[in-house]
Structure 1
Amino acid sequence: MRAIPVASVALLGVAVLSACAPAGAAGSDTFGFTVRPATVAPGGEVTLGVGRGAAGCRGRVTVTSPVFDTVTIPRHESSATARVDRDARPGAVYRVAFACKERSDTVDLTIAGGGSHRPTPEPHHSKGVHAGEGGSIAGFDLKQIGLGALLVAGSVGTAHHLSRRRSGERGA
């Protein structure tokens, strides 16, 4: 009869983990178009992706946003990188537009820091090359990771406690 409490703990763990994953996380996959990470610091780098499967885009993809220079993903590749402008407003959410022959769509990109607001569209101006910036840990939020770990640990501990209490009631 140990299978039922173990299955309950496993199911609860899966439910908690899926509840901890933010909706549209890590780039929000819309028709195979992705921006990863979905939250980046000003001056950080994002990977722009396109699905190349049966439902994805088969041709060249043009990607535009007010916070980075226009990027083209060639037909034979599935991703490219873009450097976010250093003057991107912290806390702002910008639209990243993907366009190819078969379809087009947008994905949100959040700039790390500050409150959340949607900026008014601005004309895109080339900012030039930002060389020598090195790496960054964009999108790495210790508070969110800690909260997620706390939720998982608490759920597993509660499920374990309840399953032990139930098995104790049956044995008495």
Structure 2
Amino acid sequence: MRAIRAASAALLSAAAVVATVAPAALAGEDDHNVTSFGFSVSPETVAPGGSVTLKSDGCEVPSVTVTSGVFDTVTLNEGRSGNATVDIDAKAGAQYEITFDCKGERGTATLTISQGGTGGHPTGHESPPPGVHKGVKAGYGTTAASGADTDGLGVTEVVTGVLLIVGALGAAVVLTRRRATDGRA
């Protein structure tokens, strides 16, 4: 019976940790780029003089303004995608910020300029420069896996660790109860 009480107390403690750590971890995440509308740049790596496709979805006004230091301003009308031609003199290996503006709400994405190219006609499959890691865009309004290394644990790591601990403690409670039941029989 003591083992069950101890396991229950440990399980409650783990739940308390989840309740306090998860919100703190979420607050520590880089959430300045979370928007109420979605946006994307494709491809994320392009040669100087190449073309990128810009998309936006979910903006309540009919247009989204897209700006960057590496191409002219583009206006996306009524959720339609648009294209932009990257400046021919864009520095190879550089990363440029692209800003999507929906009625004053801004989100950013990163465009990497590739080292090589096909004479200004990129295939969209160039390798990123050394030290730059391409990530996967998921969902709307975020720049998931932008390639920047982060310090410390992220929300995913903290929540996964806590859930593993809670699962192990739950298994301990079940096994302890089975043993207690088997001992009485």
TM-score (norm 2): 0.43
Decide which structure has the larger Cα Rg and report it. Answer: 2
TM-score (norm 1): 0.46
